[in-house]
Amino acid sequence: MQTQVQEIKTAALEACSQASTVQELNQARVKYLGKKGELTLILRSMGQLPSEERPLFGKLVNEVRDELEQALKTRELELSAAEEQERLMGESLDITLPGRKVARGTLHPVTQIINETKVIFMEMGYEIVEGPEVEWDYYNFEALNIPPDHPARDMQDTFFITEDLLLRSQTSPVQIHVMEKQEPPIRIVAPGKVYRADSDVTHSPMFHQIEGLVVDKGITFADLKGTLQLFAEKMFGPETKIRLRPSYFPFTEPSAEVDVSCIICKGDGCRVCSDTGWLEILGAGMVDPRVLVKVGYDPAEVTGFAFGVGVERMAMLKYGINDIRLLFENDVRFLEQFTS
């Protein structure tokens, strides 16, 4: 039995030094020192020995066990240090690697134009207001001097919800909301969505307008012209000129359509301006006295001007976009070009 113990010792020490992972080492520990380990079993079978041999044998087995435990502990320290080292190596950071670029979003070109317009008018002392997109017929038409059977209603293909409720076809109704609530002086711009049953390369069923309204004592057509000239220069560049053509809107008198000198050819004539040198960008005029009366103002006391500009139209002209639908498809490859 002594030789057996010596054999176990040799094999166990061998297994211990051969173990290449902490896990393998634990297997060896179980195999020799576990409850059913070889050394444990042999100690238990000691009863077969004559009693005088037992103490010596017991001592031997204990010595072997101590030695084995010591060897296991030493090897375990070695192995766990090596494993830790390997883990750290795998985790190491290469601080010389170039960083990964964070993709930055940009504001939608429509939002950019709205923001630029707001800033231009805020600098002139205007307030920014908003109105509802679902609107009463009264505000969208009647109060703006467009009675139910008026042919001017045909200018706008309107989405009706009920007989007197609709999706606003213009931002002009915001004028009425503001004048109903406030006394002059009034100086506002009102950006927002508008809706018309119309769809092709230059029309979208939903698009954006920005309405402007100024009412005070002594406001004249010259104020309107000067304001729009300044706006055009700030929006399209200092060389930009404007031109007013007589027009008709039911809520302004007189009314004008306003052109800016072509921002592509600077007025020489090109494809974008159909060789005219001018681009139409907005409608404007002096607020019709009937509109002022409807909101309880006295046209003998105060006068005003108003204008309405299409946001998508400005974006298309400014960025050379030839199809309005590109603005609403939200293809990131398209939008990425408009870094702010």
The residues that touch ligand DAH, with contacts defined as CB under 6 A, are: 170, 172, 211, 249, 252, 283-285, 306-308
Q: Is 120 helix (H, G, I), strand (E, B) or coil?
A: helix
Alpha carbons 296 and 207: distance in angstroms, whole number: 31
Handedness of CA 45, 47, 50, 52 (dihedral sign): positive
The string of DSSP letters for 80-107 reads HHHHHHHHHHHH---TTSPPPPPPPP--
Beta-bridge mates of residue 59: none
Of 94 and 200, which has the nearer Cβ to ligand DAH?
Answer: 200
* Smallest distance, ligand DAH to C-beta of residue 254, A: 10
CA distances from 239 to 98, 179, 194, 228, 267 (A): 44, 35, 31, 14, 10
Residue type, 294: K
* Smallest distance, ligand DAH to C-beta of residue 264, A: 24
Q: Report residue 123 as tokens.
A: 């600098």
* Smallest distance, ligand DAH to C-beta of residue 325, A: 20
The helix (H) or strand (E) run that includes residue 307 is strand 303-310
* Smallest distance, ligand DAH to C-beta of residue 312, A: 13
Of 61 and 287, which has the nearer Cβ to ligand DAH?
Answer: 287
Please list the alpha-helical segments (H only) found in the chain.
2-18, 22-33, 38-44, 54-91, 109-123, 137-140, 173-181, 221-236, 289-294, 311-319, 326-329, 332-335
* Smallest distance, ligand DAH to C-beta of residue 212, A: 7
Of 188 and 327, which has the nearer Cβ to ligand DAH?
Answer: 188
Q: Is 330 helix (H, G, I), strand (E, B) or coil?
A: coil
CB 306 within 8 A of CB 172: yes
Of 112 and 252, which has the nearer Cβ to ligand DAH?
Answer: 252
Residue nearest to ligand DAH (CB): 308
Of 145 and 172, which has the nearer Cβ to ligand DAH?
Answer: 172
* Smallest distance, ligand DAH to C-beta of residue 115, A: 20
Of 37 and 212, which has the nearer Cβ to ligand DAH?
Answer: 212
* Smallest distance, ligand DAH to C-beta of residue 298, A: 20
Of 215 and 306, which has the nearer Cβ to ligand DAH?
Answer: 306
